[in-house]
Amino acid sequence: MSRIIPVFIPHLGCSHRCVFCDQNAIAAPRAPSVREVRDLICVALPAAQGGEVAYYGGSFTALAPTLQEDYLAIAAEFVRSGALSGVRISTRPDCVDGQTLARLARYGVCTVELGAQSMDDSVLLRAGRGHTADDTARAAQLVKAGGFSLVLQTMCGLPGETRESAAQTALRVAQLAPDAVRIYPVCVLRGTALARMTEAGEYVPLTLEQGVTYAADMLEVFDAYGIPVIRIGLNPTDTLSGGDVLAGAYHPALGEMVRSRVLLRRVKARLDAMDAPQGDICVSVPRGRLSLLLGQKRCNAEELRQQYPGIRFSFREQDGQAEPLNITAEP
């Protein structure tokens, strides 16, 4: 994914306030003016030449058309000059139609991110989303037919959701053939409806371990379909790190933890498929992936040694290794 200049427009255009949402905690406290957007792009541009401007945090296509055009026109100037390659926006599935997509295309929007969150209508209802899984499928088809790159944002651990239904959401999202996805295990943020539900005992948040497990299940589905996962977990901010997360699966390195868990599962599956392996076994990965293999504080390495006591493990990263994972018996 190209370098991105994020412009946060918290809650703008949102006709619903979802139970989990507090954009002020994960973005900026207010939407920027048109002039402020220009200034923000100019400041960020030296480190993001050839990248994209991304409007996040609200439902962009639910804004008044004139405001959409004001925001888009600024970004389009930088695209026309060659300083940036395109624009991406984030919106709700029920705020997409042909006329709206035509407007986006005129201003150089190349990527549309849809907040699918779940493909289970009962979960969407309890989360206060105000749209259905069919809305997501319809919008995804329109976006792809319009020639845009499609990114679908998913969550796991919403009220009423189970590990199985989260995996089913991943499967249904994958079948929509997006160009990329994001996975956000639910965090309980201060001041949200979900925080009040948690305090009242109406909602039990995911533990960090559950969040890693759910997200790893989803990642395996997307990997099987060849769909890139461009983000796992909320991007750390000062407010999130400062205590606005009351509960749930939040960790600054959550994405690494999830990818590491998937790699551990693959090692175990390969070992279990071998004929009672014993002795010296080398597990190797391409250079740059050894930390994923070992896990945080070498937790993967320790788990493998405990689960397979008859094996003396060594872990290596190899230059030029084409296979993502290689397991060999050593003499």
Residue 2: what pLDDT? 67
Residues 191 and 291 in one domain: no
Alpha-helical segments (H) within 27-154: 34-44, 65-80, 98-106, 121-126, 133-145
Residue 211: what pLDDT? 98
Residues 54 and 87 in one domain: yes
What average pLDDT score do residues 196-205 get? Answer: 95
Residues 116 and 226 in one domain: yes
Quote the CA–CA distance of 188 and 199 in Å, as a whole number.
10
Residues 199 and 293 in one domain: no
What average pLDDT score do residues 319-324 get? Answer: 92
Asked if residue 263 belongs to a domain, the reply is no
13-22, 158-167, 205-214, 231-240: the lowest-pLDDT one: 13-22
Residue 86: what pLDDT? 94
Residues 244 and 299 in one domain: no
Residue 331: what pLDDT? 73
Higher pLDDT, 331 or 69: 69
Asked if residue 259 belongs to a domain, the reply is no
Quote the CA–CA distance of 51 and 55 in Å, as a whole number.
13
pTM of the model: 0.91
Asked if residue 295 belongs to a domain, the reply is yes
Residues 79 and 139 in one domain: yes
Last residue of a domain, one of 191, 220, 252: 252
Decide if pLDDT at 31 tops 90. no
Range of the domain at 247: 4-252
Residue 11: what pLDDT? 58
Given pLDDT bands bounded at 50, 70 and 90, which one contains residue 209?
A: very high
Residues 76 and 220 in one domain: yes
Last residue of a domain, one of 185, 219, 252: 252
Asked if residue 267 belongs to a domain, the reply is no
Question: Residue 63 half-sphere exposure, CB side, CA atoms within 13 Å?
Answer: 25
Domain count, the chain: 2
Asked if residue 102 belongs to a domain, the reply is yes
Question: Residue 5 half-sphere exposure, CB side, CA atoms within 13 Å?
Answer: 26
Residues 217 and 320 in one domain: no
3-7, 28-32, 288-292: the lowest-pLDDT one: 28-32
Residues 120 and 200 in one domain: yes
Residues 97 and 58 in one domain: yes
State the CB neighbour count (10 A cutoff) for residue 13.
21
Last residue of a domain, one of 252, 284, 311: 252
Residues 66 and 199 in one domain: yes
Residue 326: what pLDDT? 95
